[in-house]
Structure 1
Amino acid sequence: MGKKVVIFTIAAFGFTWLMWLPLLMNRQWELHLPFVPGQFYLGSFGPLFGAAVTAAVSGGREALVAWVKRAFSLRFGGKWLLIAIGLPILYGIIAVSTHALITGAWPNWSQFGLTEKLPKLNVWMTAVVWMLTFGIGEESGWRGYLLPELHKRYSLMYSSLIVALIWMLWHAPEFAFNPNYMAMGWGVIGWAISLSYGSVLLAWLCKGSGWSILPVVIWHGGFDLLTASDQAALVMAMVCSMLVIIHGIFLSKKMAQTTPEG
């Protein structure tokens, strides 16, 4: 198992960091290196690449096909689909209400969920982009491959925290070129806590779905729509993160008692 985790991490990080390198160098040293539109989003496919490479290297075509069938399976209960859709909606209702309470005004609905990173896209198109990139690109690796691999040896809770640590390190280049990350300051502590409990929550959702990532992709896309939008920086992102932490804490004790599946 250890060898697979190493191969996965090297491949996932290598792909993503290579995609993000021109963005980092342009930001830090104003080199004006060429890059394609949407290259930031292309970097999201690193975990997918890592999973595919690791499966192929460790077990050939048979292992690769088995990973695809498991990760993208449609055989999961409707309950988990409702949870994947319902939780972000609930987060959104609470976050928008809190925004109105604190700022004294409702968000600008014409700009809801939109970001300058995806100009000219409406809220539905933006949601689809989040799900197809940082949804499928990330979750096919983090929860679709790395988590079940770790769970062969560790509890679901411990496995989810290992995934969270690797997930955090994968984001490292963004602190040198992504304005949202560069502006965090000490807020990085809250970000790390939120990401850790987000990993716990998504591990619970993924295992409940029979290791299919599709409900997780929907949840991830909805969460990104709420927290990565330009308006979310004021209040909504913070509220959504707090809700994830609370939910993760609630799930932690039960998940810590799960036995490895190896």
Structure 2
Amino acid sequence: MIKRRLVEFAVVCLVLTWVPWGVLGVLGVDPGEGVGMLVFALAASGPSLAALVLWVRHRERRRVVRWSGVWVVAAVVLGALPPLVACALMGELPALPAHAGSVVAGAGGVLGAAAYTFLAGPVAEEFGWRGYVQPRLREYFGPVGTAVVLGVVWGLWHVPLYLLDGTGQHDDGLFTQQALTFFLELFPLSFVMLFVTERLRGGVPAAILVHASWNLTQELVPPLGRGEWVELLVMTSVAGVLLTCWTPVRRGGRVAA
């Protein structure tokens, strides 16, 4: 049953995402303007939309999240820490205020930057990755295995963006340092999200906060260049520390990893 649901999710998600992106690419439509922007945004919401479709179809109950200041603070700090530490170690902190101000102004102010940060990625994806896929992978894998599998899936889902002209990923290029460090960082980041969603019981909202905090901080700090490797190292170190804090969880009367 669980495997079938994962296959269903994969099919629905790819149809909702890769097909529209492919059409935009074939037709040469700019994904940053007019109808192209609308199609692109809906397609980018494929993971969360796929989860919604399957939840409704199978009439599944959603888990109730208990709001806590602990996981809220942890999610924000854990997402922002790697880019900030990398920025500091690369000596770019003095340039941060000016660069951050320029980014916020370009997004239409603080509210515009906040709205874009939460919608473009976190809300569009996390109901699918952390809300639907992650709990089902946990039936087969431990914390590390789940993070690795989900990191691979998450990375593969992004690949078409590097082939679609008009996206930031296409500008970076697929076979570049930026792309390599991005894909590698998805593995420890997936573990960090697993920790805040499961161990701290923050659920999808916690994953959204981590994702949003990571995205926003990466935009606000000046371009890191080779410092992206430092960010990867910091994120991996954070995941390693959290792994040492992992303790067994009781599920249905039995102890699970």
TM-score relative to the length of structure 1 = 0.77
Moved more, 30-39 or 212-221: 30-39
Answer yes or no: is the 8 Å Cα contact 1:95–1:235 preserved in 2.
no
Q: How does 1:141-180 map to 2 (within 5 A)?
A: 141-177=128-164, 178-180=167-169
- Gaps of at least 5 residues in structure 2 are 253-257
Determine the structure 1 residue equivalent to 2:255: none
- Report the alpha carbon displacement of residue 20 of structure 1 after superposing the two structures with TM: 2.2
The reply on whether 1:109 has 2:126 as its aligned counterpart is: no
What percent of counterpart residues are identical? 18
- Report the alpha carbon displacement of residue 252 of structure 1 after superposing the two structures with TM: 4.1
The reply on whether 1:217 has 2:208 as its aligned counterpart is: yes
> 1:17 & 1:147 partners in 2: Cα distance?
21
Answer yes or no: is the 8 Å Cα contact 1:113–1:231 preserved in 2.
no
The reply on whether 1:185 has 2:175 as its aligned counterpart is: yes
The reply on whether 1:87 has 2:88 as its aligned counterpart is: no
Q: 1:174–1:89: structure 2 CA closer, same or farther, 3 Å change rule?
A: closer
- Report the alpha carbon displacement of residue 134 of structure 1 after superposing the two structures with TM: 0.8
Answer yes or no: is the 8 Å Cα contact 1:115–1:229 preserved in 2.
yes
Q: 1:220–1:206: structure 2 CA closer, same or farther, 3 Å change rule?
A: same
> 1:83 & 1:230 partners in 2: Cα distance?
20
* Residue in structure 2 matching 1:76, options 37, 62, 67: 67
Answer yes or no: is the 8 Å Cα contact 2:117–2:216 preserved in 1.
yes
Does the residue aligned with 2:35 lie in a helix, a strand or coil? coil
* Residue in structure 1 matching 2:241, options 227, 232, 250: 250
Amino acid at match of 1:56: V
Matched positions, count: 245
Answer yes or no: is the 8 Å Cα contact 2:71–2:200 preserved in 1.
yes
> 1:136 & 1:220 partners in 2: Cα distance?
9
Query: For the aligned residues, what is the CA RMSD?
Result: 3.2
- Report the alpha carbon displacement of residue 217 of structure 1 after superposing the two structures with TM: 0.8
Answer yes or no: is the 8 Å Cα contact 1:152–1:260 preserved in 2.
no
- Report the alpha carbon displacement of residue 232 of structure 1 after superposing the two structures with TM: 3.0
TM-score relative to the length of structure 2 = 0.79
Determine the structure 2 residue equivalent to 1:56: 56
- Report the alpha carbon displacement of residue 213 of structure 1 after superposing the two structures with TM: 1.1
- Gaps of at least 5 residues in structure 1 are none
Deviations 1:29-84 (A, max 9, x none): x4669734354433331111111222233x23xx1xx12xx2xx441332111101
Does the residue aligned with 2:203 lie in a helix, a strand or coil? coil
Determine the structure 2 residue equivalent to 1:18: 19
Answer yes or no: is the 8 Å Cα contact 1:19–1:39 preserved in 2.
yes
Q: 1:6–1:253: structure 2 CA closer, same or farther, 3 Å change rule?
A: farther
> 1:230 & 1:90 partners in 2: Cα distance?
11
> 1:237 & 1:251 partners in 2: Cα distance?
21
Determine the structure 1 residue equivalent to 2:126: 139
Q: 1:41–1:153: structure 2 CA closer, same or farther, 3 Å change rule?
A: same
> 2:189 & 2:250 partners in 1: Cα distance?
20
Amino acid at match of 1:107: A
Deviations 1:221-247 (A, max 9, x none): 111112246833536655433321211
